[in-house]
Structure 1
Amino acid sequence: MKLREIAHSRTGDKGNISNISVIAYDIDDYETIKKSITAEKVKMYFADIVKGEVIRYELPNLGALNFVMHSALGGGVTRTLSHDMHGKGLSAALMNMDI
């Protein structure tokens, strides 16, 4: 199953750091998401893009995870040659992950 079938996401960025929140549509799916999507798995999934540490924060009351990805935007919005300089496309890519 694709992550997008049980969750949606929001993203943000500051400098060369991008964060992606993964939010369960149904709180009952939170544990499945929590077990399936680790910081290590996100780091591997974005291995060609994310050059720094990936930290996962858990928000069980919201049924959400937040991944903070360092060195993820090619140097930052004003320095990168990346087409998606804000990293918004990263959340769409993550929603395509098989879980």
Structure 2
Amino acid sequence: MNPPPRILRDIALARSGDKGNRATLSVIALDAADFPVIDRWLTAERVRLHFEGLVHGAVDRYPLPQLSAVHFVLHDALAGGVTRSLALDAHGKTLSAALLDMPLPE
């Protein structure tokens, strides 16, 4: 039996925040040796496609090599904002958890 595919959660953790209709997500390598994989593979376009239908605006990407992290700002991502959305728990923390489920390249 083949092992399950590796996911981003296997090599990184995520932190999140929200401000109005914007979510911020930071993906931080658990081991600095894995940062080059995250930096090369986790592009703004991949994140945008992963959240297609949820994030309706641009995705900005900020590499932070000194922290072994990549930071993203997802615009128009929270259905109007935490205080305006009718969605249950549409906060950034749920988006960061979902991001960590992305399969890693083989």
Range into which the TM-score falls when normalised by the shorter chain:
over 0.9
What is the aligned residue count? Answer: 99
Identity of matched residues, %: 53
Mapping of residues 63-82 of structure 1, within 5 Å: 63-82=68-87
Offset, 1:17: 0.3
1:98 aligns with 2:106: no
Unaligned runs of 5+ in 2: 1-5
Tell me which of 6, 14, 23 is aligned to 1:9: 14
**What is the SS of the residue equivalent to 1:61?**
helix
Equivalent residue number for residue 88 of structure 2: 83
Unaligned runs of 5+ in 1: none
Offset, 1:53: 0.3
Mapping of residues 39-54 of structure 1, within 5 Å: 39-54=44-59
Cα deviation 1:54-88 (Å, max 9, x = unaligned)? 00001001000001000000000111111113221
TM-score (ref. length: structure 2): 0.90
Quick one: distance in 1 between partners of 2:27 and 2:33?
14
Quick one: distance in 1 between partners of 2:85 and 2:37?
35
**What is the SS of the residue equivalent to 1:67?**
strand
CA RMSD of aligned residues (A): 0.7
Quick one: distance in 1 between partners of 2:92 and 2:72?
13
Quick one: distance in 1 between partners of 2:11 and 2:35?
9
Judge conservation of contact 2:25–2:92 (CA < 8 Å) in 1.
no
TM-score (ref. length: structure 1): 0.97
Equivalent residue number for residue 34 of structure 1: 39
- Choose 1 or 2 for highest CA Rg: 2
Moved over 3 A (4+): none
